[in-house]
Amino acid sequence: MRVVTMGEMMIRFMPKGNLRIEQATEFEAYYGGDESIVATSLARFGLDSRYITKLPENPIGDIAVAKLREQNVDTAFIARGGERLGVNFYESGAAMRPPKVIYDRKHSAISEALPEEFDFDAIFRDADWFHVAGITPAISDTAAELVKCAMIAAKKHGVTVSVDLNYRSKLWSPEKAQSVMVPLMEYADVCIGGREDAEKVLGFKPSDTSLADDAIDLEGYKDMFRRLKERFGFRYIASTLRESYSASDNGWSALLWDGEEFYRTRKHD
């Protein structure tokens, strides 16, 4: 199976240890981004993985490409040019202190990339699956149009399309998210998201569910999934569940509904 992902690759600067950003005099640098992490993870599982983005034509962009190639990700269709690579500063949570992220991504290369810079017919001709997250259309109207064109091209080639809603309040408001994302659902086969994502990104009010005392209301999620399918016609709907014990200690599990059966993974602490 060949999976194509598309999104913004960024540099993350992190203070060492549990220092706060304002305390740090040194930062560790990491290259990543939602869809690039998906691409590298799938490559590690042995799938053919292709990543689509735009990176500046400079040593920083070269390093980003090299990092992807180290993980056996196909970078042949990455466009080069533009102003810069997006940056974020990330402060790890510690004990009761929540994590903090500061974005510096305005005028990044992918945020200003145009559809004609990518040969979508060649990109999707031999692909089986296309994955994108709601973060990319949130960074600019230009990026939103790029995502739409990519989704349409993927469907033209019979490629399964998955969308991780992934609402980020630092990037856009619920009203803006809904105006962009709801029309895109016409091209999505698989929807990934939780209660807040469904409400903020799709304007969908799910039934009340509870995470109190490790008691997750699975019936509430089943109802949400069924209603999402009725409205948007998704083939599959998935969600991750996080049970937070502290800022650095969480329990994770996942849900999947295929329209008939409802599956839940075991919890990983």
- Where residue 206 falls among pLDDT bands split at 50, 70, 90? low
Is residue 79 assigned to a domain?
A: yes
Q: What share of the chain in percent tops pLDDT 90? A: 77
> Is residue 133 a contact partner of residue 7, using CB atoms and an 8 Å limit?
yes
pLDDT value of position 214? 44
Helix, strand, coil % (nearest 5) of the chain? 35, 30, 35
Decide: residue 83, CB within 10 A, 0-12 exposed, 13-18 middle, 19+ buried. exposed
Any idea of the CA torsion for 218, 220, 222, 224, to the nearest 10 degrees?
-140
pLDDT value of position 211? 44
Q: What's the total number of domains in the chain? A: 1
Place of tokens 């998201």: 193
pLDDT value of position 229? 93
- C-alpha span between 255 and 237 (Å, rounded): 8
pLDDT value of position 245? 64
Q: Average per-residue pLDDT in the chain?
A: 92
Cβ count near 191 (within 10 Å): 27
Is residue 117 assigned to a domain?
A: yes
- Where residue 20 falls among pLDDT bands split at 50, 70, 90? very high
Predicted TM-score of the model (pTM): 0.91
Is residue 193 assigned to a domain?
A: no
Is residue 223 assigned to a domain?
A: no
pLDDT higher than threshold 90 for residue 169: yes
Is residue 103 assigned to a domain?
A: yes
Is residue 157 assigned to a domain?
A: yes
> Is residue 51 a contact partner of residue 35, using CB atoms and an 8 Å limit?
yes
Task: Give per-residue burial for 220-229: e unless 16+ CB within 10 Å, then b.
Answer: ebeebbeebb
Task: Calculate mean pLDDT across residues 243-266.
Answer: 83
**Residue-number span of the structural domain to which 25 is assigned:** 2-164
pLDDT tens column, 116-128 = 999 999 999 999 9
Q: Taking Cα atoms as reference points, which of 251, 190, 194 lies closest to residue 221?
A: 194
CATH of residue 51's domain is 3.40.1190.20
pLDDT value of position 213? 39
Cβ count near 49 (within 10 Å): 26
Question: Which residues are CB-neighbours of 24 under 8 A, at least 6 positions away?
Answer: 15, 16
149-to-93, 103, 113, 145 alpha-carbon distances in Å: 37, 26, 12, 6
Is residue 142 assigned to a domain?
A: yes
> Is residue 58 a contact partner of residue 65, using CB atoms and an 8 Å limit?
no
pLDDT tens column, 38-83 = 999 999 999 999 999 999 999 999 999 999 999 999 999 999 999 9
Looking at the chain, the number of H-run helices and the number of E-run strands are: 8, 14
Is residue 38 assigned to a domain?
A: yes
In the chain the first and final C-alpha atoms are separated, in Å, by 30
pLDDT higher than threshold 80 for residue 249: no
